[in-house]
Amino acid sequence: MIVTVIAVIFLLSIVVGRFLLDEGRIATNLTIRNAPPSFDHLFGTDWLGRDMFTRTIMGLSLSMGVGLIGAIGSASIALILGMAAATMGKMVDRMISWLIDLFLSVPHLVTLILIAFTLGGGFKGIVIGIALTHWPSLARVIRAEVMQIRSAEFVQVSQKMGKSRWFIAVQHIFPHLIPQVLVGFLLLFPHAILHEAAVTFLGLGLSPHEPAIGIILSESMKYLSSGMWWLAFFPGLCLLIVVRTFDTIGENLRMLIDPTRAHD
């Protein structure tokens, strides 16, 4: 519980921190280029004299924004398709299951790159790409869950009371899905952030002037050999911590909500 609270505070501080930081610190300042980490520049500065700490925080909050929108999109797609597969008859079920298998059989990253590339990259491309690629496993979980609830006696009773499919889906089935969707959504988050960074690192994502983690990492690759380790080390570490934090929150929430694991 304490871990979760700390994790949430940590993530919030990054988002809030973005607005507290001085934009001027990421302006080019050639007098302080290539400075190693110090108290003035916690993560050092890069080859243009930009403060790496500020860039990292901004990059992380941008990544979280992308992750948030992408994860919401993905979770919604998963919810809709999962419900549709389980309630709209055999034909729809078969089609959606096939679609799930199709997307699961290709690595996320490949489809993501393909979609982001087709849409011309940038913020829009990457967000749509993430939303369109991360839903299959959650959709499968939701489909299974819906199928189980659908055969429950209280749903059958409801049908015999003359309730419509829509009523049953919204009133009976949906409340049972909330925990799954919530946990699934949170566990999508780290994936989305990592994949955003990966695609941006490969140059197919956000444009270079935006302070994204992927861009920071790919730019700093050139300078690693000249001994400027702080350029990649701190942003990379921060990305790792943020991703792990989301993962921990998701796992803890699952433990809290999932009755079969409530006593862990």
Nearest residue (CB) to other proteins, 34 versus 158 = 158
Q: Which residues of 128-156 are buried (b: 16+ CB within 10 A; e: fewer)?
A: bbbbbbbbbbbbbbbbebbeebbeeeebe
The smaller minimum CB distance to other proteins, of residues 21 and 88, is found at 88
**Is 177:79 a contact under the CB 8 Å cutoff?**
yes
Q: How many CB atoms lie within 10 A of CB 236?
A: 16
Whole-number minimum distance, CB 159 to other proteins, in Å?
A: 8
Q: Does residue 156 touch other proteins according to CB under 8 A?
A: yes
* Least separation in angstroms between CB 72 and other proteins: 23
- Pick out residues in 166-195 that bind other proteins (CB under 8 A): 171-172, 175-176
Which amino acid is present at 181? Answer: V
**In terms of CB distance, is 25 or 176 closer to other proteins?**
176
The answer to whether residues 173 and 83 touch, using CB atoms and an 8 Å cutoff, is yes
Q: Which residues pair with residue 45 across a beta bridge?
A: 51
158 lies in the binding site for other proteins (CB under 8 A): yes
How many amino acids of this chain bind other proteins (CB under 8 A)?
Answer: 15
Report the nearest approach of other proteins to the CB of residue 162 (Å).
4
The nearer residue to other proteins, 19 or 166, going by C-beta atoms, is: 166
H or E element at residue 193: helix 174-201
Residue 129: strand, helix, or coil: helix
Which neighbouring-strand residues pair with 51? 45
Minimum CB separation of residue 66 from other proteins in Å reads 34
Please select the residue that binds other proteins; options are 1, 31, 90, 154, rule is CB under 8 A: 154
Measured from the CB of residue 152, what is the shortest distance to other proteins in angstroms? 7
* Of 34 and 159, CB closest to other proteins: 159
Site for other proteins (CB under 8 A): which residue of 161, 166, 209, 225? 161
Task: Give me the long-range contacts of 97-102 (CB less than 8 A, separation at least 24).
Answer: 97/143, 99/136, 100/136, 100/139, 100/140, 100/143
Among 24, 90, 160, 260, binds other proteins (CB under 8 A): 160
Q: Does the protein bind other proteins through residue 8 (CB under 8 A)?
A: no
Contacts of 109 (CB under 8 A, 6+ apart): 195, 198, 199
Footprint on this chain of other proteins (rule: CB under 8 A) = 152-154, 156-158, 160-164, 171-172, 175-176
